[in-house]
Amino acid sequence: MPLHIVVGAQWGDEGKGRIVDVFAAQADYVARYNGGDNAGHTVTVGSRIFRLHLVPSGIIHPHTVAVLGNGMVVNPHTLFDEIERLRQAGIAVTPERLRISHAAHLITPAHQALDNALEVARGKGSIGTTGRGIGPVYTDKAARRGLRIEDMLAEDFSERLRAHLDDANRTLRLLTTPELDPQPILSDFTNYASRFLPYVADTSAELHHALNAGKTLLAEGAQGTLLDLDHGTYPFVTSSSTVASGTLTGLGLGLTAACDARVIGVVKAFQTRVGSGPFPTEVSGELATRLRGSGEHPWDEYGTTTGRPRRVGWLDGVLLRYAVRLNGITELTVTKLDVLTGLEPLKICIAYRVSDKTFADLPFGPANLQTYKPVYKELPGWAEDISNVHKWADLPRQAKAYLEFIADLTNLPICLVSVGPERGQVVEKE
C-alpha cells in the first residue's frame, strides 16, 4: 500500500505545492485531506504560475486523479473558479480526474460573514483568520448542524440551506452585523448543486480500492503542523488536523494504509508564519525585509490566499524536532535555500531558555511560547549563486554544512532541496 504523505513542518507556507508537484510525477492519486480555500499552494512551470486553493496541486500532472477528501471544507464558488482557470491553462479537469467526497462540508457566505464578524468581536484578541469561513464551518461540523456535499443532492436542499442562513442571521444580529439576503445565495447554490453532481463520489472507497490495487497515493496536507487544532500554537491555529495522522480520518482510510507510509516533511530554510501568535525566532527590520522579499515576485513571502506579508525569522530547530516527532516524518525536503545566499552569519535555534533553565525540547507543546527565548547556533553563510545548482556536490560547502546541521538536528535524511521557484530548480540528494 504505497501511501506518501507530504506535510508542512512549520506554520504552513513551506512550499508544499511545488514539493507535491515533484512527487506527483510518480503518483496515481493526489488527495487533499484537510482545510479549505484558506490554503494556498503555488507551482511554477516555466512561465506559468498555478495558484491553487482547493484542488490538489498534483492535478497539473496529466496522469493523476485528484481527490478532495471528507476532511475538507469546500467553497463552491472558489472551486469552480479554480476549475475554470485550470482548464484555461490547458489542464484537463473532468469528473474522471477530479473526485469530491460526498462527506466534505460546504462553506457558504454565512460562514464567511460569521468569520469576519467574530474576528472583529474579538478585538485585540483576534486570531488573524483569513476570513474564508473556515472556523465557522468546522464549528458547524462539530456541532452536527453542517451542510455536506451530499446535502446538495437532496430534494430538500433549499430548505436545509435556508434554515442554515436563518440561523446565521440570528447570530449576525446579535453581533450587530448586517444580515444576509437569502435569495441570491439560494439561487447560486441551486446552480452549484447541479454542477457538483458529476464529481461527487465515495472517495474513501475509491482510495481504498486504489491502494489495494497497488496504486500510489500522494496525500497533500494544507497549512502546517504548528497550526494543527490539537497540537499547534493554540488558539492561534486553524480548525482542522494538519498533521500526517489526519490523512487517515481526512481521507477515510484505515490504519493499515499507513503501514510503511512515507512521510515527507517540508521545511523552509528559515521560518515564516501568517497571522497572530507566538514566534520565538522572529526578526524585524532590514533582515526581515531581506528574508521576505519585496513582494514583486509570486514566490516572495506574501500569503498566496490573503496577500498579507508573512512574519519571518530564523529556522527553529526546537519546533522542527517537535514536528518530526508528531508526524512521524521519515525524510525532509528543504525549500528556499537560495534566499539565505549572502547572509552572514546564519542562525538556527537549537534550544529555548526561560530564566536559568534551558530546554532542548518543548515541555508542554507549543501553545505557550511567549516566555521562551531562542538559543542560537551560528553557521557560516555563502555568497555563491545557487539557483542553477542541480547536484548536491555542486552546492557551496557552507550550504551543505547548513543542510547537514538540519539533518543532524532532526536525525533525518534530507531528500530534496529547492534553490528557486521553478519546477526544475531542485537538488536531489542521492
Domains defined for the chain, CATH in brackets = 3-92+203-428 (3.90.170.10), 105-199 (1.10.300.10)
Identity at 329, one-letter amino acid code: I
Contact partners, residue 232, CB within 8 Å, separation at least 6: 225, 226, 238, 242, 366, 367
Does pTM top 0.75 for this prediction? Answer: yes
Question: In angstroms, how far is the first alpha carbon of the chain from the final one?
Answer: 24
Mean of pLDDT over the chain = 92
Q: Is residue 323 within 8 Å of 226, Cβ to Cβ?
A: yes
Among 29, 62, 3, smallest CA distance to 248 is for 3
41, 53, 164, 231: the active-site residue:
41
Contact partners, residue 356, CB within 8 Å, separation at least 6: none
Q: Is 13 a residue of the active site?
A: yes
Kindly tell me if the per-residue pLDDT of 175 is higher than 80.
Answer: yes
Kindly tell me if the per-residue pLDDT of 392 is higher than 90.
Answer: yes
Can you give the pLDDT at residue 307?
Answer: 72
Average pLDDT over residues 33-54: 80
pLDDT tens digit string along 318-338? 999 999 999 999 999 999 999
13, 115, 316, 338: the active-site residue:
13
Q: How far apart are CA 342 and CA 356, in angstroms?
A: 34
Average pLDDT over residues 93-103: 97
Q: Is 41 a residue of the active site?
A: yes
Which residues, listed in sequence order, are joined to residue 43 by a DSSP beta bridge?
Answer: 50
Q: Considering only 9-13, 192-196, 420-424, which range has the smallest mean pLDDT?
A: 420-424
